[in-house]
A and B are shown apart, each in its own frame.
Chain A
């Protein structure tokens, strides 16, 4: 299992946002280089918390 880094990591670098089925897929790169993918339900006219962090 994973564990937290010792220091508070910066917000992940935002990458490409796409869709898959009913989901919005937002890819980020964590400060240690690992990939973080945030999935959220597509809602018209509404951005998801988290997935909206940083420039897309």
Chain B
């Protein structure tokens, strides 16, 4: 059972989910809870011999309908194959994943105890991954979390949709564009906080996956896979990241513009960026690389991976 406490000094909620302390931590592959249950094998979360994409309620939820605050925590398993990544999925499966995300956004967003549907993926032990099987997660927050709230504040500051305005700026500048297709633009943001941060932004103003045309979902999936494969080619190693899908709140607190942000913690092949004094104590990122140079390196890596 989780509990919310409001931290007055920062003006933000803190969720206490102490049951998560006991969750499975880096099990061997033959005890992976996200693999299908094989005859004679260890039991898993998906007690079937095979599946395509599976979604289930997290056994150790940070948020749940059973807690006083409400909310949801789901696990999205991309494949029944233990090895691989978002980038290595067959193209059709990645496209299907966009539909799964959309369906979960629709269903969770319709709940009265969910104010913001947050789809994300943590990849790599560097960002705290406890299971290597390709998967992501979805949190249904019972409130509007600080980051999407800041994005809505940016809308007000810029006098309209902030991601639309920022995308126009990036396209006009061009130096940080990684690649484009008919539906999305992928770029390193002007004020990237992480060395190889990248944003995947819908060209058209789409508040959420629900407003996307099927062709846009297909092209979004292609772009996400192309970026992840490029990341892996950058240092010739599986590239850790946090992937955050930002969409409109579902509590009528504002609109939004669908985009996917990647926060990779590596600043070189072996060195991690840590959130230290300035970042944690003052809230100001100190970046070690210029976004324009990171974009050059990423463009080369994406070309190598193609």
The interface of chain A, by Cβ under 8 A from chain B, is: 1-12, 20-23, 25, 30, 32, 34-41, 48-51, 53
Determine whether the beta carbon of A1 is less than 8 Å from that of B60.
yes
- Given A9-B47, A12-B47, A21-B99, A40-B52 contact (CB < 8 Å): yes
Contacts of B100 in A (CB 8 A): 23, 39
A35-B56, A41-B96, A50-B50 known; A1+B103 contact, CB < 8 A: no
From B35-43, B147-155, B265-273, the one touching the partner chain is B35-43
A38 and B51 in contact (CB under 8 A), knowing A1-B75, A1-B130? yes
- In Å, the complex CA distance between A23 and B54 comes to 12
Considering only CB atoms, which chain B residue lies closest to A20 in the complex?
Answer: B103
Find chain B residues with CB under 8 A from A30 CB.
45, 47, 56
B293 interface contact, C-beta 8 A? no
- Give the docked Cα–Cα distance between A45 and B53 (Å): 20
In the complex with contacts A1-B75, A2-B60, A25-B103, A39-B50 CB distance below 8 A: no
Which residue in B24, B49, B59, B214 is a CB contact (below 8 Å) of A21?
B214
Shortest distance between the CB of A36 and any CB in chain B (Å) = 4
Q: Find chain B residues with CB under 8 A from A48 CB.
A: 51-52
Residues of A within 8 A of B36 (CB): 50
Given known pairs A1-B23, A35-B57, the reply for A11 and B47 (CB within 8 Å) is: yes
Q: At the interface, yes or no: B55 with Cβ under 8 Å from chain A? A: yes
Interface string of B116-160 (1 = CB under 8 A from A): 000000000000001100000000000000000000000000000
Please measure, in the bound complex, the distance between the C-alpha atom of A40 and the C-alpha atom of B58, giving whole angstroms. Answer: 20
Known A3-B33, A23-B100: A38·B57 in contact at CB below 8 Å: no
User: Given known contacts A2-B75, A21-B99, is B46 in contact with A36 (CB within 8 Å)?
Assistant: yes
Contact between B47 and A10, CB atoms less than 8 A apart: yes
A23 and B47: CB pair below 8 A? Answer: no
Is A3 within 8 A of B49, CB to CB?
A: no
Task: Give the chain A neighbours of B42 by CB distance below 8 A.
Answer: 4
- Complex formed: what's the CA distance from A49 to B53 in Å? 11
Can you name the residue of chain A whose Cβ is closest to the Cβ of B55?
A37
CB distance A4 to B33 under 8 Å? yes
Specify the chain B residue showing the minimal Cβ separation from A22.
B99
Instruction: Decide yes or no: A8 and B52 within 8 Å by CB, A3-B33, A39-B96 being known contacts.
Output: no
What are some 29 contacts across the A-B interface (CB < 8 A)? A2-B23, A2-B33, A2-B60, A3-B23, A3-B27, A3-B33, A4-B24, A4-B44, A4-B45, A6-B43, A8-B37, A9-B47, A12-B47, A12-B48, A21-B103, A30-B45, A32-B59, A34-B56, A36-B46, A36-B54, A36-B56, A37-B54, A38-B51, A39-B52, A39-B96, A40-B52, A41-B92, A49-B51, A50-B50
Q: Is B111 an interface residue (CB 8 A)?
A: no
Is the pair B58, A2 in contact by a Cβ cutoff of 8 Å?
Answer: yes
B67-119 contacts to A (CB < 8 Å): 75, 92, 96, 99-100, 102-103
Query: Using Cβ atoms and an 8 Å threshold, which residues of chain A touch B24?
Result: 1-4
Across the interface, do B56 and A2 meet the contact criterion of CB distance under 8 Å?
Answer: yes
Residues in A neighbouring B304, C-beta threshold 8 A: none
Q: Closest approach, in angstroms, between the C-beta of A14 and any C-beta of chain B?
A: 11
Please report the C-alpha to C-alpha distance between residue A4 and residue B46 in the assembled complex, in whole angstroms: 9
State whether the Cβ of B169 lies closer than 8 Å to any Cβ in chain A. no
Partner of B48, one of A20, A39, A41, A49: A49
Is B205 part of the contact surface with A, judged by Cβ < 8 Å?
no
